[in-house]
Amino acid sequence: MHTLICGSLAYDTIMVFNDRFKHHILPEQIHILNVAFLVPDMRREYGGCAGNIAYNLRLLEGRPLIMAAVGDDCEPYLARLKMLGLDATHVRRVPGTFTAQAFITTDLDDNQITAFHPGAMNHSHENRVGDAKGVNLGIVAPDGREGMLRHAREFHALGIPFVFDPGQGLPMFAGDELMEFLSLADYCCVNDYEAKLLCERTGRPLEALAREVRALVVTLGGNGSRIYAAGQTIDIPAVVPEAVLDPTGCGDAYRAGLLYGIQRGWNWEKTGRLASLMGAIKIAHRGGQNHKPTRAEIAARYRAAWGESLH
């Protein structure tokens, strides 16, 4: 059976400014801001939450299906998906649009200025969960606003359990809409900042929100993660990474581990441990999809980290 990954496919253009923004952005002149940054270092990465989650799930030899919307510039990404063995049957091309993309400029202090163009992502609601066959688990990851609402309702109507992963899309929704997502979803995964915002928007404490789903997972960066399930709180330590190079996509790698464990009916300790490991593997590489461990290598890392078999 397949795991349906509803979310974005995006290009990330990352540029490095070899100075500090504060030397060029004068606070007293902010009302007439007109600056240009010379960026001799630039790279383009394949990203988007759906792309990153599916990539990591494929590393685990899971069976992801991607449901997303892309624009006229999609050919390089589609070719990559084919090369990776990722099914693009449910990736919709929207003529006259660009694929979603972020333009990120980073200075020497790791400050970032980002411009994000959603493009075809705003048409994600044109995709239908019911068109994907052989699916018994899903995730609603950051995507177009209407697409996220529609896909959550469709998963629920079809009786397919799914993870609600609002991510950076969370601010698009009011408290009652977030409560609807939680009433429809079986699982929810947020980082610590998003957890605070979720509580603020809904007016409810985290423990109360956790009772709305089978499990509420909160990632805590270098402090690991916490899983609220069946009235219990399970703390999952972080795995020490080989290097800390780039946090981009670490949350998506973590979610792939969650989906893999849920699909196999594992307990939450084991599921959380695999998710933690996947995030640690990713952070040691730049970009969201440039780490390439085999399933056997992941299993060996899991045993080394946790002293138990992944199988």
Cα separation, 26 vs 301, whole angstroms:
48
Contacts of residue 8, defined as CB under 8 A and 6 or more positions apart, other chains included, come to: 48, 49, 50, 51, 68, 100, 121, 124, 141, 142, 143
- Residue carrying the six token digits 């239908």: 128
Predicted confidence (pLDDT) per residue in 94-146, tens digit: 999 999 999 999 888 878 888 999 999 999 999 999 999 999 999 999 999 99
The CA-atom distances, in angstroms, between 15 and each of 61, 107, 119, 152 are 33, 9, 21, 35
Q: Which two tokens stand for residue 8?
A: 């974005």
pLDDT of the residue at 33 = 80
Cα separation, 116 vs 102, whole angstroms:
4
Dihedral angle sign, alpha carbons of residues 18, 20, 23, 29: positive
Contacts of residue 224, defined as CB under 8 A and 6 or more positions apart, other chains included, come to: 235, 236, 237, 238, 276
* Burial of 240 per CB tally in 10 Å (0-12, 13-18, 19+): exposed
The whole-model pTM stands at: 0.94
- How many residues does the structure list for the chain? 311
Cα separation, 30 vs 4, whole angstroms:
45
> How does the average pLDDT of the chain come out, rounded?
95
pLDDT of the residue at 6 = 98
160 backbone φψ class: left, alpha, beta (φ>0; ψ -120 to 50): beta
Q: Which two tokens stand for residue 201?
A: 């928007």
Contacts of residue 296, defined as CB under 8 A and 6 or more positions apart, other chains included, come to: none
Q: Determine what percent of the chain is predicted with pLDDT higher than 90.
A: 87
Q: What is the mean pLDDT of residues 225-252?
A: 94
Q: Determine what percent of the chain is predicted with pLDDT higher than 70.
A: 100
Cβ atoms 88, 66 nearer than 8 A = yes
Q: What is the mean pLDDT of residues 83-100?
A: 97
Provide the 10 A C-beta neighbour count for residue 232: 10
- Residue carrying the six token digits 């994600």: 124
Cα separation, 238 vs 311, whole angstroms:
20
pLDDT of the residue at 107 = 87
Cα separation, 194 vs 34, whole angstroms:
32
User: Mind listing the domains of the chain with CATH numbers?
Assistant: 2-20+40-306 (3.40.1190.20)
Tell how strand 64-70 and strand 87-93 pair up: parallel
Residue type present at position 279: G
Predicted confidence (pLDDT) per residue in 263-279, tens digit: 999 999 999 999 999 99
3-state helix, strand, coil in the chain (%, to 5): 40, 25, 35
- Residue carrying the six token digits 């411009």: 115
pLDDT of the residue at 190 = 98
